[in-house]
Amino acid sequence: MKLPVEVNEQSQEPIYYQIEEQIKALIVSGSIPAGTALPSIRALAADLGCSVITTRRAYQNLEQHHYIKTQRGKGTFVQEVDVNERDLMKEKTVTEALQRAIRTANQHDYTEEEIKTLFERVLREETTDA
Amino acid sequence: MLKVQDVTRKMGKEAVLGPIDLHISPGTITAIVANNGAGKTTLFQAISGDYPGFGSVRVDGHSVHSIAGKAQLSYVPQTYPEVEAFRLTDLQKLHKEHDFSWQDDRFQAIARQFKLPMKKPIQKLSVGMKQKAVIATQLSRKTNVKLLDEPFAGLDMEGQSLVERLLLEELEANPNATIIFATHVADEVQRLADYVCFMHAGKLSEPVEKDWLQERWKYVWLQEALPGNGPSARVEEVSVDPMPKILTRNALETEEWVRENGGTVVKRSSLRLHESIPHILRKGEQNDDE
């Protein structure tokens, strides 16, 4: 199985963290349901061009937070996610996206008012498109 | 597991290899990169036991010169005059009868995938086919340590992918397997390696995590150039056209220095290995990072 995960070279975040967060998002959103077998750390590393040290670290962190479980000799499987946590994660993902947008606006010297106006305009456009 | 201690050899008339110390854990792939003439092939010969001399090489705790050590080591050298006179069927028979690490079904499967001519003398084969023949033979042995000197050089693309897949299969199937390969191609390091060792003038660096290189070696663009040169802060190169840009070998430290000096980072981008590796090779081992 090939996971839709990629490493962003422009990110300041460590590679293991990027992988961890993307897999977490796939699990929480239900894109990869509970029981799904994940690629081995070696297969994922080969797929992403990173090292097994990195993929192992990402899997270990995910396992520690009960998103996945490794069964010796069988492989690594997605665990059931708590509904409340799913909601929290969704909110966290969207919040982070908004934070990034605001930071970009700040970099371009937008005022709070300008950001709000722009946000409402984009929101209207996106809603009409959909 | 491979343990190299204090290995020293002569390279040509004056240059010296080593002393080399290297400790490689099971389940990992290590790439050894070097410029021409740095001593890579001498190192591989020394590790394989082909070039005896000072120091010790242990494979799973056994000397590389012992039968138990050799039984755990697959070695693909760059040249292999000793097998040229044989046909693959001869080699197959030889291994089948005398090599208890031999897996004949594995050999047959690999030989089929490579479409190897079994009955032609190896010396009559093309460069790429010879290479495939030797790789097929060595990867058919059930060994924990695979030592490969530029295994992909001379192979067609299909052959390269196949060798890559075979090596990955090896690691998936055997948790004690370890792969050490030499290469001049950054892309091979990118696709396969967990650790990289750099060779420079007969000396070998400690293994460096591949991803660590990508996290540290970056281009960092600034909004405005900072006055003065400041401390090095791991800065390799600075350019200002069309925008101030720093090439750093430790992005975290450099960015911290930029912030402390009132600068603003506009964008950053990791160097690809084919960009960072030549910098590292040019300067040799750098002991100042961690």
In chain B, what percentage of residues exceed pLDDT 70? 96
Q: How far is A52 from chain B (nearest CA, A)?
A: 6
Of A9, A50, A54, the CB nearest to B269: A9
Where residue B290 falls among pLDDT bands split at 50, 70, 90?
very low
Q: How far is B240 from chain A (nearest CA, A)?
A: 20
User: How far is Cα A27 from Cα A20, in angstroms, rounded to an integer?
Assistant: 11
Q: Which pLDDT does position B266 carry in this prediction?
A: 86
Of B28, B168, B190, the CB nearest to A49: B190
**Count of residues for chain A?**
130
> B109-117, long-range: CB within 8 Å, 24+ apart, which pairs?
B110/B136, B110/B139, B110/B140, B110/B166, B111/B136, B113/B162, B114/B159, B114/B162, B116/B88, B117/B88
**Greater model confidence, B264 or B75:** B75
Largest interatomic CA distance in chain B: 73
Q: Among B211, B245, B265, which would you mutate to test the A interface (most chain A Cβ atoms within 10 Å of its Cβ)?
A: B211
- The answer, for A75 touching chain B at a CB cutoff of 8 Å, is no
Instruction: Tell me the per-residue pLDDT of B120-171, one tens digit each, with 9 for 90 and over.
Output: 999 999 999 999 999 999 999 999 999 999 999 999 999 999 999 999 999 9
User: How far is Cα A21 from Cα B44, in angstroms, rounded to an integer?
Assistant: 40
- The answer, for A56 touching chain B at a CB cutoff of 8 Å, is no
Mean pLDDT (chain A) is 90
Q: How far is A102 from chain B (nearest CA, A)?
A: 15
Instruction: Tell me the per-residue pLDDT of B56-83, one tens digit each, with 9 for 90 and over.
Output: 999 999 999 999 999 999 999 998 888 9
B269 and A54 within 8 Å at the Cβ level: the answer is: no
User: How far is Cα A52 from Cα A44, in angstroms, rounded to an integer?
Assistant: 8
Q: Please provide the distance, in angstroms rounded to a whole number, between the alpha carbons at the two ends of chain A.
A: 32
Instruction: Tell me the per-residue pLDDT of A35-49, one tens digit each, with 9 for 90 and over.
Output: 999 999 999 999 999
Q: Which pLDDT does position B287 carry in this prediction?
A: 46
Where residue B174 falls among pLDDT bands split at 50, 70, 90?
very high
Q: Which residue in A has a C-alpha nearest to residue B187's C-alpha?
A: A49
Of B28, B195, B270, the CB nearest to A9: B270
Q: How far is A74 from chain B (nearest CA, A)?
A: 12
Q: Which pLDDT does position B132 carry in this prediction?
A: 95
E strands of chain A, at which residues?
Answer: 37-38, 68-71, 75-78
Contacts A–B by Cβ distance under 8 A: 47
Q: Which pLDDT does position B226 carry in this prediction?
A: 78
**Per the structure block, which two tokens stand in for B122?**
């190896």
Q: Which residue in B has a C-alpha nearest to residue A14's C-alpha?
A: B215
Of A14, A43, A45, the CB nearest to B215: A14
Contact B97, B81 (CB under 8 A): no
- The answer, for A46 touching chain B at a CB cutoff of 8 Å, is yes
A51 and B168 within 8 Å at the Cβ level: the answer is: no
The interface predicted TM-score (ipTM) is: 0.84
Of B172, B211, B266, the CB nearest to A54: B211
* Domain ranges within chain B, ordered by starting residue: 2-209, 218-270
According to DSSP, the residues that pair with B73 across neighbouring strands are B145
Chain A residues in contact with B191 (beta carbon < 8 A): 46, 49
Q: How far is A51 from chain B (nearest CA, A)?
A: 4
- The answer, for A107 touching chain B at a CB cutoff of 8 Å, is yes
Q: How far is B215 from chain A (nearest CA, A)?
A: 7
Where residue B232 falls among pLDDT bands split at 50, 70, 90?
low
Where residue B284 falls among pLDDT bands split at 50, 70, 90?
low
The fold adopted by the segment(s) B2-209 is Rossmann fold (3.40.50)
